[in-house]
Structure 1
Amino acid sequence: MSSTARLPSLRLSALDAHLLLGHERPGLAGIPRFLLEFLYFGVKQARACLFVGLFFAAVFLVPRTGLWGIPRYDALLIIALAIQAWMVWAKLETLDELKAITIFHLVGFALEVFKTSSGIKSWSYPDFAYTKVFGVPLFSGFMYAAVGSYIIQAWRLLELRVVHHPPYWMAWLTALLIYANFFTHHFIGDYRWYIAACALGLYARATVIYRPLDRDRRMPLLLAFVLIGFFIWLAENISTFFGIWAYPNQLGAWSTVHLGKWSSWSLLVVMTFTIVANLKHIKERVHVPA
C-alpha cells in the first residue's frame, strides 16, 4: 500500500496516542478548562464514531440506484466490510474488538430477519440486493454493530470505568429480557416498560467515570443510555428519510419515526453496553494471575 494511503491511518493513530496521553494541566481552571475539556470530549466522541460516521456517510451518499452497477444494499455491505478491514489493518481496532462487533452484527441481523418476516413486517427493505438473506440485506447488521463499535471505542478513548456496576449475572439477565421482548411482544404483549423499570432500579446507583482531558468526570450511567438512544433515534429518522428502510406508516410519504422508538433504542443501548461490559469483565478475569 502506498505511503499516501497510509497517511490517514498514521494520523489517526497519532491522534489516539495524543488523546490518551492525559498530561496534567494544574494551571488550567475556570472557563478555559471547561472549553478545553469540552473540545477534547467532542474530539474523543467524534473519533469513537469513526465507523459510525464512515458507514452512515456511505448510507446517505450511495444513491438508491446503486454504485457502478452494484445495487445499493450490496454496495453498502462492501463498504462496511472495507471500513472494518481498514480499521483492523490500521490498528484503530483490535481483533478482540472486531469479534465483539461481529457478535453485535449477528444479534442485530437475527432481529432484523424476525422484524421483517411475514406476519410481523415492522419495517421492510424495499430495494433489490444480491446479498439479501431471508429478505434482509446483510449490511443491516452493521447498523447494530455501529452502536457496539461506538461504545467500544468510547470506552477506550474516554478511559471509562463504572462505579457501582450491578451484579453481572443480573445485568446479563436484564439484557436477555430486553432482547427477548423485541421478539415476544408480538405474541404475548409488550413488557418494555416493566423491563425498563427493572433496568432503572438495577443501574440507579451506577456511575460512569470518564476522562475527557486530565481529570475524571462523572455521569449517571442511565443518563448516558438515554442520550445515546436519542442520537440513534435521530440517525434512524435520517435513514428512513433517505429510504434505506421504511416503517409501514412511511410507505406512502415519509414521517418522523415514532418517539416511542427512542425508548427501544435506549434499551438496545443497555443491552449493547452489557455485552461490552461483560466481555471486558470476562477478559479481566481470564488475565488475572492465579
Structure 2
Amino acid sequence: MNVMIQNHARKMKGRSMNALQQLIRFGWEQALSCLFPAVIFVSLAMTKILPLPFLPRYDWLLIICLLMQWWMVRSGLETVDELKVITLFHLIGLALELFKVHMGSWSYPEEGYSKIFGVPLYSGFMYASVASYLCQAWRRLKVELIKWPPFVVVVPLAAAIYLNFFTHHFWMDVRWWLSGLVLIVFGQSGVIYRINGRRYRMPLALSFGLIGFFIWIAENIATFFGAWEYPNQTGAWHVVNLGKVSSWLLLVIVSFLIVATLKQVKEKGPKE
C-alpha cells in the first residue's frame, strides 16, 4: 500500500512539475511576443521621468518606436510580412486617433514637432504593437484556427466593428449588437496553440476577452505615464473607466480578424 501511495505521489509531483514547466514556457513565449509593447511602456515611463534634450517627448517616442521597429526586422525577431501587417495597423490606428482627438474623446496635451492635427505620429505604434504581439504570438505558439467562418462573413464584420468607432458619434452605438454577432459567428471557433510540442485549445471568444482585458490594464499604465489623456484625467489621473474594456475588446477582435485573414490569404497564395 505504501508503495502505491509513493508511486501515486511521484506521478502527481511529475504532473505538477510538467504543468509548471509548460506554464513558464508559455509565459516566456508571451513575454517575447510582447517585446514591442514592453519597449513602448518603458519608453513612456522613462521619457516621463527623465529630462529630454533637443526634442519634445512625443518626438523622442516616435524615434524610439522607429528604431525598435527597424531593429526587430534587422535582428530577425520580426519578418518582412509581419512588418507589412504592423504598418497597416499603424495607418488604421492613426486614422482612428485623428478622428477621436478631433471629436474630443481624448487628447495629447504635450508639444511635439511630429504632431498632425493634434495627434503625435508615435500613437500609431501603440496600435501597431497590438498587431506585433498577435503576429509574434501566432508564430511562436504555432497557432491554428478551428472552425473559422467564411471570408465573406469575417471581412464585413471586422469592417462594421471598425466603422462603429466612427459612426457612434453621429448615430447609435451598436457595439453590443456587434458583440452579439461576434458570439454567434465565432461561437464554435477556437484556436490551437503549441507549447513544447503539446497542443492546447482555447475558445476564440475567451482569447478575445483575455487580450481585451489585459490591453485595458495596459491602457491604465499608458495614461498614467501620459501616453494620452482622457477628459476626466485633465486635472489628475484616474483609473480608466471599466467600460473601455468593451472598446478594446472590439478593437482586439478587429485586429485578430485582420491578422487571421491575412495569414489565410498568405497560406493560400502561390507557392514558390
Query: How far did 1:244 drift?
Result: 2.0
Q: Distance in 2 between matches of 1:283 and 1:245?
A: 35
Q: Distance in 2 between matches of 1:212 and 1:288?
A: 28
Name the structure 2 match of 1:89: 74
Name the structure 2 match of 1:101: 86
Distance 1:64 1:188, change over 3 A: farther
Amino acid at match of 1:192: R
Q: Distance in 2 between matches of 1:255 and 1:265?
A: 18
Is 1:238 the equivalent of 2:239? no
Amino acid at match of 1:179: Y
Give the 5 Å matches for 1:260-275. Answer: 260-275=243-258
Name the structure 2 match of 1:176: 159
Cα displacement string for residues 192-238 of structure 1 (whole angstroms, at most 9, x for unaligned residues): 00001001111111111001222100111111111111111011111
Q: Distance in 2 between matches of 1:75 and 1:287?
A: 41
Amino acid at match of 2:143: L
Name the structure 2 match of 1:166: 149
Name the structure 2 match of 1:191: 174
Distance 1:72 1:216, change over 3 A: same
SS at match of 1:63: helix
Cα displacement string for residues 1-25 of structure 1 (whole angstroms, at most 9, x for unaligned residues): xxxxxxxxxxxxxxxxxxxxxxxxx
SS at match of 1:259: coil
Cα displacement string for residues 86-145 of structure 1 (whole angstroms, at most 9, x for unaligned residues): 01110111111101000000000000000001xx10000000000001110000000000
Query: How far did 1:241 drift?
Result: 1.4
Q: Distance in 1 between matches of 2:107 and 2:122?
A: 14
Tell me which of 169, 172, 186 is aligned to 1:203. 186
Is 1:50 the equivalent of 2:22? no
TM-score by length of 1: 0.87
Question: In terms of mean alpha carbon deviation, does 123-132 or 29-38 score higher?
Answer: 29-38
Amino acid at match of 1:201: I
Query: How far did 1:66 drift?
Result: 5.6
What is the count of residue pairs matched by the alignment? Answer: 260
Q: Distance in 2 between matches of 1:239 and 1:277?
A: 27
Q: Do 1:65 and 1:72's aligned partners in 2 also have CA atoms closer than 8 Å?
A: no
Q: Point out where structure 1 has 5 or more consecutive residues left out of the alignment.
A: 1-27
Tell me which of 6, 23, 30 is aligned to 2:15. 30
Q: Distance in 2 between matches of 1:152 and 1:261?
A: 24
Name the structure 1 match of 2:53: 68
Q: Do 2:48 and 2:226's aligned partners in 1 also have CA atoms closer than 8 Å?
A: no
Name the structure 1 match of 2:138: 155
Identical pairs, percent: 52
TM-score by length of 2: 0.93
Q: Point out where structure 2 has 5 or more consecutive residues left out of the alignment.
A: 1-12
Q: Distance in 2 between matches of 1:285 and 1:78?
A: 36
Over alpha carbons, which structure has the higher Rg?
A: 2
Name the structure 2 match of 1:9: none
Q: Distance in 2 between matches of 1:45 and 1:104?
A: 20
Name the structure 1 match of 2:209: 226
Q: Distance in 2 between matches of 1:261 and 1:79?
A: 27
Q: Distance in 2 between matches of 1:126 and 1:29?
A: 55
SS at match of 1:123: coil
Is 1:121 the equivalent of 2:119? no
Query: How far did 1:63 drift?
Result: 2.5
Amino acid at match of 2:250: L
